Amino acid sequence: MDTVLASQLSLSSTDFLALKHLLSTDHPLGPVDLARLLGMSTGSAAALIHRLQRAGHIERHPHPDDRRRIIVQPTPSITAAITKSLEHLGVEVDKLRRQFTPKELAAIHRFLTSATKIHADYPARSKPALVRSTRRRRGPVG
């Protein structure tokens, strides 16, 4: 779905993912935060931020608690464009929701909430699997 939305908005998948992070957070994000979330270097994040700002998709502002830092925020125009792109999806999901009783919706909500938590907690709880060597040992030549 992200790829389709990015394409509709003429954005690369990485640019769209950056905007998605900026739109879905409840605290200000700076370039270092964005780099960490996107799994890229701070230099790459700075280039991405510059590109998005040139395109009119984000604005830079001083950090509210530390004037030495900056935060980046999506512009109202890109926020509106993304919201408009998702309108049809929202209408379809709302139609689907109306097919269920409140009791069924409560069960679905419990399931999805639990499944989301399992997915979110998985990296911290899992250990890397041991990889066995596929090479066969050769016995003594003789």
CATH number at residue 40: 1.10.10.10
Q: Which residue has the higher pLDDT, 1 or 34?
A: 34
Note the pTM of the prediction, 2 decimals.
Answer: 0.71
pLDDT number for residue 125: 76
Looking at the structure of the chain, the number of domains it has is: 1
Residue 140 lies in a domain: no
**Across 23-27, average pLDDT:** 90
Say if 53 falls within a structural domain: yes
pLDDT score, position 136: 56
Q: What average pLDDT does this structure show over 69-88? A: 94
Query: How far, in Å, are 22, 26, 32, 43, 50 from residue 66 at the CA level?
Result: 19, 17, 14, 21, 21
The arithmetic mean of pLDDT across residues 35-58, rounded, is 95
One-letter amino acid at 138 equals R
Q: Residue 108 domain-assigned? A: no
32 in a domain, yes or no?
yes
In-domain check, residue 59 = yes
